[in-house]
């Protein structure tokens, strides 16, 4: 059985989208950005945007930072490897500190009668 609903598959506000319905578009400027992998990105910005055009832009293809000079693109940022909680603790504490903390914890547990 076929539904008689005329608006099936459309959404509220759907209709022809044009300048007459939305208003006139703001004047735009297109800027080229180049990343270290040689990708070019051309986002467009409103001419009267506050703050102006950004100096750097993230490349949508590789994620590296991109600059406006094709001969000298910015260097990719150095990504620190993932560290575990234990790795951060080892950066802050020496082995002697760790042994002292362990002995203190064991003494506390022995005094409570939880271990021998």
Q: Which of 64, 67, 65 is nearest to 53 (CA)?
A: 67
pTM of the predicted protein model: 0.52
Per residue in 45-93, pLDDT (tens digit) is: 988 877 888 999 999 999 899 999 999 999 988 878 888 998 888 889 9
Do residues 32 and 41 make contact, with C-beta atoms less than 8 angstroms apart?
Answer: yes
User: Looking up tokens 């059985």, which residue turns up?
Assistant: 1
Domains within the chain, CATH numbers bracketed:
26-67 (2.20.28.270), 79-116 (no CATH)
**Which helix (H) or strand (E) segment is 65 a member of?**
strand 65-67
Q: Which residues contact 40 (CB under 8 A, 6 or more apart)?
A: 32, 33, 34, 70
């Amino acid at each position: 059985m076929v539904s008689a609903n005329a608006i099936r598959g459309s959404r509220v506000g759907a209709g022809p989208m044009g300048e007459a319905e939305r208003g006139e578009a703001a004047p735009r400027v297109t800027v080229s950005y180049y990343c270290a992998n040689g990708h070019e990105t051309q986002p467009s910005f409103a001419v009267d945007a506050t703050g102006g055009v950004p100096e750097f832009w993230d490349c949508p293809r590789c994620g590296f930072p991109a600059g406006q000079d094709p001969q000298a693109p910015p260097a990719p940022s150095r990504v620190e490897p993932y560290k575990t909680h234990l790795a951060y603790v080892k950066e802050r504490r020496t082995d002697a500190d760790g042994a002292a903390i362990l002995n203190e914890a064991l003494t506390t547990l022995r005094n409570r009668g939880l271990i021998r």
